[in-house]
């Protein structure tokens, strides 16, 4: 079995690892991501995030008060130069249940997308469909993805800048097929700390640019913007993430989620309850006179 901790691990590394495992556990608890007897499919891309996610879930499984199964899955999309033996060997040595699904989505994407254009969108949709199908075949009820806090914040700005939507990646949601729950246990973890952890663990990283597609330039620019903000004001990314879960609907402008149209009527109804009518004032004066008379009788 591949060790989850390097033999020569330093105290700083152990603190970082424990912090990341703790944040993962907190996200799972806060959003009730994993329950007793769940079967969790961990999607392995071969990148730092999915390796880290798998290791954190294995560590939490050992100490969790509930039982859940972990099944690791990698999708071999037949990209030229894809090292098909890397993940199977890693997962086999790790000694956990796993499977490699082989689907030639690369040829489909290349046929549909013009040369030089970004293929990520179509590739993602094809990959998602295969994952959902596999989850159904394996009786999986939770699909774990390796998106972290920074991914979620970047998606928020991408949707605002290019989609006119206040929308990010939720830590937990129902899949498009309506039959699975998607979870993102790394939702509280920063990319910087995951990178430090993964680098120290020396995972066999598989690059994500084997398909020859152009990098998602919009996401890259958003990432650069956020990193510049973080350098200037440390903690800003974390504050932005916090804002996602601290929403004031009455201070935004979505008329479907907040009843702006009937606010006037609501205020009028409250005002009516507080108006001092003539009858109310007359009754109040009578009550005050009666109280004063009662007090004089007692004094005498």
Q: What is the pLDDT of residues 180-201, one digit of tens each?
A: 899 999 999 999 999 999 999 9
Residue 243 has pLDDT above 60, yes or no: yes
Instruction: State the pLDDT confidence band at 152, using cuts at 50, 70 and 90.
Output: very high
What's the pLDDT score for residue 123? Answer: 73
pLDDT digits (tens, 9 = 90+) for 250-269: 999 999 999 988 887 766 66
Say whether both 241 and 281 belong to one domain.
Answer: no
Instruction: State the pLDDT confidence band at 276, using cuts at 50, 70 and 90.
Output: low
- Residue from 187, 185, 193, 190 nearest 61 by CA: 185
pLDDT more than 70, % of the chain: 82
Indicate whether 22 belongs to any domain.
yes
- Residue from 185, 175, 179 nearest 145 by CA: 185
Q: Could you tell me the CATH number of the domain that includes residue 162?
A: 3.40.50.620
What's the pLDDT score for residue 33? Answer: 98
Mean pLDDT, residues 83-91: 91
What's the pLDDT score for residue 71? Answer: 97
What's the pLDDT score for residue 109? Answer: 75
Say whether both 171 and 270 belong to one domain.
Answer: no
Report how many domains make up the chain: 2
pLDDT digits (tens, 9 = 90+) for 6-27: 877 889 999 999 999 999 999 9
Mean of the per-residue pLDDT values of the chain: 86
Indicate whether 60 belongs to any domain.
yes
Indicate whether 5 belongs to any domain.
no
Indicate whether 258 belongs to any domain.
no
Say whether both 148 and 97 belong to one domain.
Answer: yes
Residue 72 has pLDDT above 90, yes or no: yes
Q: Give yes or no for a contact between 3 and 90, defined as CB atoms under 8 angstroms apart.
A: no
pLDDT-wise least confident of 151-165, 182-196, 200-214: 200-214
Domain boundary among 220, 247, 274: 247
Instruction: State the pLDDT confidence band at 219, using cuts at 50, 70 and 90.
Output: confident
pLDDT digits (tens, 9 = 90+) for 42-71: 999 999 999 999 999 999 999 999 999 999
List the domain range (segments joined by +) for residue 235. 11-247
Q: In 10 A of CB 214, how many CB atoms? A: 12
Indicate whether 257 belongs to any domain.
no
Say whether both 188 and 282 belong to one domain.
Answer: no
Say whether both 240 and 139 belong to one domain.
Answer: yes
Indicate whether 254 belongs to any domain.
no
Residue 167 has pLDDT above 80, yes or no: yes
């Amino acid at each position: 079995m591949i060790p989850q901790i390097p033999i020569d691990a330093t105290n700083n590394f152990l603190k970082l690892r424990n912090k990341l495992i703790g944040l993962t556990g907190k996200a799972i608890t806060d959003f009730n991501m994993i329950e007793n007897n769940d079967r969790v499919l961990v999607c392995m891309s071969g990148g730092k995030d999915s390796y880290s996610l798998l290791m954190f879930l294995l560590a939490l499984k050992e100490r969790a008060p509930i039982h859940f199964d972990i099944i690791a899955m990698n999708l071999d999309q037949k990209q030229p130069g894809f090292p098909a033996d890397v993940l199977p060997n890693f997962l086999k040595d790790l000694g956990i249940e796993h499977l490699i699904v082989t689907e030639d989505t690369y040829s489909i994407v290349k046929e549909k997308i013009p040369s030089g254009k970004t293929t990520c969108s179509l590739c993602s949709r094809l990959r998602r469909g295969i994952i959902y199908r596999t989850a159904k075949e394996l009786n999986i009820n939770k699909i774990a993805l390796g998106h972290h806090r920074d991914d979620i914040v970047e998606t928020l700005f991408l949707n605002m800048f290019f989609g006119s939507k206040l929308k990010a990646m939720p830590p937990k949601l129902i899949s498009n097929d309506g039959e699975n729950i998607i979870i993102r246990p790394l939702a509280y973890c920063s990319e910087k700390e995951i990178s430090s952890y993964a680098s120290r663990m020396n995972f066999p990283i598989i690059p994500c640019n084997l398909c020859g597609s152009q990098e998602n330039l919009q996401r890259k620019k958003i990432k650069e913007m956020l990193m510049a903000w973080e350098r200037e004001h440390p903690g800003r990314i974390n504050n932005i993430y916090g804002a996602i879960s601290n929403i004031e609907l009455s201070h935004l402008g979505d008329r479907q989620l907040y009843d702006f149209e009937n606010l006037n009527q609501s205020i009028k109804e409250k005002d009516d309850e507080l108006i001092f009518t003539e009858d109310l004032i007359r009754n109040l004066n009578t009550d005050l006179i009666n109280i004063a008379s009662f007090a004089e009788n007692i004094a005498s």
